[in-house]
Amino acid sequence: MNFQTCSRRLALLVSISLSLFSLPALAVVNQSVEFPDAQDVRSVTLVIDGDDTVHEAEIKDEEDSRKAVFVLPDGSEGKSAVLHAEIDGEKKSYELRITALPFVIGAASVAVLPASPGVTGFGSATDNSAWIIVGTIAGGLVNSGFLEDIANQSSADASDLLSTLGVTGITSFADADDNAFASGLSLGFGWQFADESRLWLDYDAKFVSDMKMSAGADGNVPMSASMIDAESVGKAETNIQSFRIGYSRWFSPTSQFGYRLALGSVSVESDLSFMSTIRVDGSDVDSFSGEDTLDDNGVIYGAGLEWAPRNSRMPDLRAGVMYEQISKLNAFDDNKMWALTAYVSVGLRLGSRRQP
């Protein structure tokens, strides 16, 4: 066998091996989308339902139309998807279903999405702008420093009381837990724009579990070996109600993450109850209880991170984390309250419109 024959057989073997190795790469779906009435088509992307991958198209200018060609993974046929495109300077979205057959090279199934009314092919263009109703449930942490101030004042009052009784060796303490779990409900009404950003007004109510405090002082009874102490324990049930203007927007047309902002007026009401006890050598000698209500109005503002599956299905489900802060309130010793909550919201569009 001469050298030339060996070279030919080796080249044939390499060619067959490369062909076999590349066979899996043929397992794709080629989907073309034509825009026959458009003059300029840019930024064409496709997101398949259930997959976060953003597929970018190769845009081709033909004689009387514009064409976007996608190379999609095997198994895409029959799945729903959302196509985003900038057509003649206007951003539009299309709900569609992949119809190309796998393992077909080239434009397997051309779908025409006109820029004019009367959408044909596998999708329909939708304008997501509409009036919306948004309901939200939330849960998280609320913090305020006003119970700490009350505990410190109670500790000082207890020390003064024992001092007037002539008690010596006085020591005092104060302890407050201003962190409490809060559950919340809100209902809002507003407008959703074509890019699914939202502007709405809502009523929000947060129900805060008990915040607790304890404070007191103790010392030695003069001319005896007895100990005397004065202690106060209390709790606060707080409700926070607000009317807020909210705004949310996605980071990009295909992103599943966005931001949320809120600004509004707030009313804070806290019902305080306490019990004060004086003991000598551990035995109660006197006690009294009391109640008080603190309430004030202020401003609430906040920001958060929001997530949602971008499938344009109803109802529109979104989830996120929100940080809110309340301005200084005079009735609460100029303390600022803040809340960190996780939420889930459900939005209902009151009708939708077709793209013109």
Q: What is the mean pLDDT of residues 274-296?
A: 88
Per-residue pLDDT of 162-207, as tens digits, reads 888 888 888 988 988 888 999 999 999 999 887 788 999 999 999 9
Per-residue pLDDT of 90-117, as tens digits, reads 887 777 777 754 322 223 333 333 333 3
pLDDT reported for residue 285:
85
b/e 96-109 (16+ beta carbons within 10 angstroms → b): bebbbebeeeebbb
pLDDT reported for residue 207:
92
Distance CA 220, CA 213 (A): 24
In eight-state DSSP terms, residue 16 is: H
> Which pTM value belongs to this model?
0.61
What's the token pair of residue 325?
Answer: 């802060």
59 neighbors 86 (Cβ within 8 angstroms) = no
254 neighbors 282 (Cβ within 8 angstroms) = no
Per-residue pLDDT of 216-243, as tens digits, reads 899 888 888 889 998 999 998 899 999 9
Q: What is the mean pLDDT of residues 308-326?
A: 82
Q: How confident is the model at residue 313 (pLDDT cuts 50, 70, 90)?
A: low
What's the token pair of residue 231?
Answer: 């202690």
Q: What is the mean pLDDT of residues 27-42?
A: 74
* CA distances in angstroms from 225 to 97, 167, 182, 191, listed in the order given: 88, 12, 47, 74
The DSSP string of 85-152 is EEETTEEEEEEEE--PPTT--S-SEEEE--SSSS--TTEEEEE--EEEEEEEEEEEEEE-SHHHHHHH
pLDDT reported for residue 66:
76
The larger pLDDT score, comparing residue 209 to residue 198, is at 198
Please report how many Cα atoms fall inside a 13 Å half-sphere around the Cα of residue 313, on the Cβ side.
10
Beta bridge partners of 138: 184, 343
As a whole number, the mean pLDDT across the chain is: 79
* Percentage above 70 pLDDT, the chain: 79
Quickly tell me which residue has 């003991």 as its tokens: 279
pLDDT higher than 90, residue 141: yes
- Mean pLDDT is lowest, of 123-127, 249-253, 320-324, for 123-127
